[in-house]
Amino acid sequence: MTMIKIAFAGFRHGHINALYKLAEQNPDVQIVAAYEADADARAAAEADLGVNFAHDSYEDMLNEEDIDVVAIGDYYGKRGSLAIDALKAGKHVYADKPLCTSLDELDEIERLSREKALKVGCMLDMRQNKVVQPVRNFIQEGNLGEIHALFFSGQHPLMYGSRPDWYFEKGKHGGTINDIAIHGMDIVEYLTGLSMKSVTSARCWNAFATEVPHFKDCAQFMVELSNGAGLMGDVSYSAPNSSGYSLPFYWRFTIWGTKGVMEFTAGAKEIMVALDGKPKAELIPVPDADTGDCLRVFVDELEGKDTYINTVSVIRATRDTLKIQAFADKN
């Protein structure tokens, strides 16, 4: 197999640091270049990851290096343009989420990907959560019947003062729904096979980040799915800073069907299922399976293998989430 050569553009979020480490550990991937415009972020990446920055501009890196994939981790508002430039240069793109912050950018990314036969990936790593495949199997086997209602909550800690400053600067974040809800929207379609039909309602507002009133840290929405089912989501930055990521209901999903209801969380060791005709709910153990990692899946796609997440699903989840964000931004 040919070694896949990857270059990194931007180190503004911890997710991209995790991706860099995955690339280092993957025997089929070679890191060949890196670029970061911000001096502080560059110094941090050098100290924390040992990154070697040999280029003063992104354009130089794209032109001078033999690159197969550009991994993008700049601030959210810049990612779309970096992805577009990489695709124009004939490179595949793998980005931290969100891939971009506007539908116009996504249209161009999709057009270039299709016309140049290039792949676009995104760190939608919730698919690697151990609970996901057992839930999907249960639903796809028909145990819940037809799905008619869904809810997910992905409340995060705000951590104002410890998140990067750019997070709260106008024009650089792109919206709380676009930031967080893409994980939930991607998982819902993967679990149920139902796609988003339309946005019914969406709202973002400022509640916790009072120091930056323009930053709308709370977000809720309702959408209609392809079979008429209703989906409600809450992805607010409302979780306590001290425990937000470790709460037992972090990323909670509830799915109602004609035969019963099931509920689970991202870190669950058991899935709660209550089926019609049974007197009480049951707990189904989650197998301790090796689910791989998100970069490995993208490498498989580049090699032409069938993968459970691909360019089509990444663009669709991104588009759905951007549409919800756009609806909220108008209100």
Sign of CA dihedral 299, 253, 174, 320: positive
**Are the C-beta atoms of residues 146 and 257 closer than 8 Å to each other?**
yes
> Model confidence over 147-173: pLDDT tens digits?
999 999 999 999 999 999 999 999 999
pLDDT for the residue numbered 248: 85
- What average pLDDT score do residues 255-267 get? 96
> Model confidence over 269-297: pLDDT tens digits?
999 999 999 999 999 999 999 898 999 99
Q: Where in the chain is CATH 3.30.360.10?
A: 126-329
Q: Where in the chain is CATH 3.40.50.720?
A: 4-122
Among residues 49, 44, 99, which one has the least CA distance to residue 70?
99
- What average pLDDT score do residues 191-220 get? 97
> Model confidence over 48-59: pLDDT tens digits?
999 999 998 999
pLDDT > 90? residue 64? no
Residue 327 CB: number of other CB atoms within 10 A? Answer: 20
Token pair of 149 as six digits = 């209602």
Distance between CA atoms of residues 70 and 75, nearest Å: 15
CATH class of 4-122: alpha beta
Residue with tokens 């997910």: 152
**Mean of all residue pLDDT scores within the chain:** 96
Got the DSSP string for 140-168?
HTTTT-SEEEEEEE---B--TTTS-GGGG
Average the pLDDT over each of 23-37, 41-55, 64-78, 236-250 and give the range with the smallest value. Answer: 236-250
pLDDT for the residue numbered 1: 60
pLDDT > 70? residue 19? yes
CB neighbour class for 328 (10 Å; exposed up to 12, middle 13-18, buried from 19): buried
Considering the entire predicted model, what is its pTM? 0.97
CATH class of 126-329: alpha beta
pLDDT for the residue numbered 229: 98
Sign of CA dihedral 130, 270, 223, 196: positive
pLDDT for the residue numbered 167: 95
pLDDT > 80? residue 321? yes
